[in-house]
Amino acid sequence: MFEEASSAAPLDSSSRTLASVKRRRAWKRLRGRLAVLACQFGLLAVLLGLWQYATSKQALNAFLFGSPSEIWGFLVKMQEDGSLVHDAGVTGMETLLGFLLGNVIGTVLGLLLWYSRFVSKVVHPFVVALGSIPVVALAPLVIIWFGTGLASKLAMSTLSVVVVALVIAYKGATGVDDDQINLMRTLGAAKRQVFTKLVIPASLRDIFAGLKLTVGFALIGAILGEFMSSADGLGHAIFKAGSLYIIPKVFAGVVVTIVLALFLSFLVGRLERFLMPWHKFD
Partner 1 sequence: MPESETPYSATGTPGKSGAPLTARNIGKTYGDDDDASPVIGDISFSLKAGEIVSLVGPSGCGKTTLLNLMSGLVRPTRGDVLWHGKPLTDVPKGIGYMLQKDMLMSWRTALANVTLGLELTGMPRAEREKKAHAMLYKVGLGPFHDYYPTALSGGMRQRVALARTLVTGPDVILLDEPFAALDFQTKVVLESDMAKLVRSDGRSVLLITHDVEEAVSLSDRVIVLTHRPSRIKAIHDIRLQGDRSDMMAMRDAPGFAALVRKIWSELDVRMAET
Partner 2 sequence: APPQPIEFVEAVHNLGYIDLYVGQHAKIFEKHGLTLHLTAAGGDTQAFAAVLGKTAQFAVGDPTMVEMSRERGGPGMVVGTLVQRAHYFGVSKTVAAPITNPKGFKGLTFVTSPDPNTNYSVTKKLMQDNGLKLGTDAKIIEVNPGTEIGAMLAGRADVAVAYQPNVAAAIAQGAKVVFDFSSYMGPFCNTGVMVLPEYAKAHPDVVQALVDALEESARLTYAKPDYAKQVARTEFPDVPGDVVDRAIDMELQYKIPAQTIPVDQKQWANLMSMQKYLGNVQASIAFGDVIDNQYADKAAKMAAAGGGTAVAAK
Instruction: Give which of a copy of itself, partner 1, partner 2, none residue 148 binds (C-beta under 5 to 8 Å, depending on kind).
Output: partner 2
Distance CA 179, CA 61 (A): 62
Cα dihedral 125, 126, 132, 134, rounded to 10, equals 160
Give the 3-state DSSP-derived string for 4-27, with helices as H, strands as E and coil as C. Answer: CCCCCCCCCCCCCCHHHHHHHHHH
**Minimum distance, C-beta of residue 103 to a copy of itself, in the bound complex (Å):** 15
- Distance (Å, rounded) from C-alpha 37 to C-alpha 29? 12
Q: Using CB under 8 A, which residues numbered 8 to 67 contact partner 2?
A: 61-64
The angle, 0 to 180 degrees and rounded to 10, between the axes of the packed helices 234-243 and 247-275 is 160
Q: Which of 101, 111, 154, 220 binds a copy of itself (CB under 8 A)?
A: 220
- Number of residues near partner 2 (by CB under 8 A): 32
Considering only 28, 117, 197, 273, the residue that binds a copy of itself (CB under 8 A) is: 117
Instruction: Please report how close the Cβ of residue 257 comes to partner 2 at its closest, in angstroms.
Output: 17
Which listed option, partner 2, partner 1, a copy of itself, none, makes contact with residue 143 (CB within 5 to 8 Å by class)?
partner 2
Taking alpha carbons only, the member of 220, 83, 233, 93 closest to residue 159 is: 220
**226/23 Cα distance (integer angstroms):** 51
Between 17 and 243, CB nearer to partner 1: 17
* Contact between 147 and partner 2 per CB under 8 A: yes
Using CB under 8 A, pick the residue from 54, 189, 202, 246 that binds partner 2. Answer: 246
